[in-house]
Amino acid sequence: MKNKFLFFSILISLLSCTSNKKYELASDIYILDKEKPIESFQELTNKLQGKAIYIDRWATWCSPCVEEFKHNEALHNFLHENKIEIVYLNSDTDLEEEKWFDFIIDHKLTGNHLRLDSLLKADLIDKGIFIPMIPQYMVVSEKGEVITNKAFRPSSGKKLYEQLDSLLIK
């Protein structure tokens, strides 16, 4: 009887450790392709129709990308004050969804999120938007047009804010 109790105790412990983790993302974290994949740049801009967008293309393994996240508080304040949306476009190819969510949460990446799949990447390449190195920052007008695919980094601070101001804010 004692052995059965021990066996079931161990079994319950193991099952609770291996159960799927449910993610409760904060209310200010939005997964844009949660309902259906976004396969083109137009689909992305349609999701945020009528809004100016600052796109941050990054990957978890990219240390310069992660370094830039240290400047997010000031960046988010500026974007919020000027009604500019941020989209974090993740470029990891084999990253499990759980690890992606963990990374978003751990780095407090509030805003809109999207994974770069092969169809979206091909569309960005066809449109001449994609640059084959990261981090990459893009500015998109309220009309869904790319104004620049080589925007300043968040660490540029005032230079970035002046760039956004001159390109988007009237």
The band of 17, judged by pLDDT with boundaries at 50, 70 and 90, is very low
More confident residue, 7 or 88: 88
What is the C-alpha R_g of the chain? 20
> Residues 6 or more apart from 169 whose CB is under 8 A from it?
82
88 phi, psi to nearest 5 deg? -95, 110
Distances (CA, A) of 4 to 1, 10, 13, 116: 5, 10, 14, 49
Q: What is the pLDDT of residue 127?
A: 95
Per CATH, the architecture of 27-168 is what?
A: 3-Layer(aba) Sandwich (3.40)
Mean pLDDT of 40-49: 95
The domain segmentation of the chain, as residue ranges, is 27-168
Q: What is the pLDDT of residues 50-97, one digit of tens each?
A: 999 999 999 999 999 999 999 999 999 999 999 999 999 999 998 999
**What is the average pLDDT value for the chain, to the nearest integer?**
87
Which pair of structure tokens corresponds to residue 47?
């999701």
Q: What is the pLDDT of residue 170?
A: 61
pTM of the full structure: 0.84
> Residues 6 or more apart from 89 whose CB is under 8 A from it?
55, 56, 57, 58, 114, 115, 116
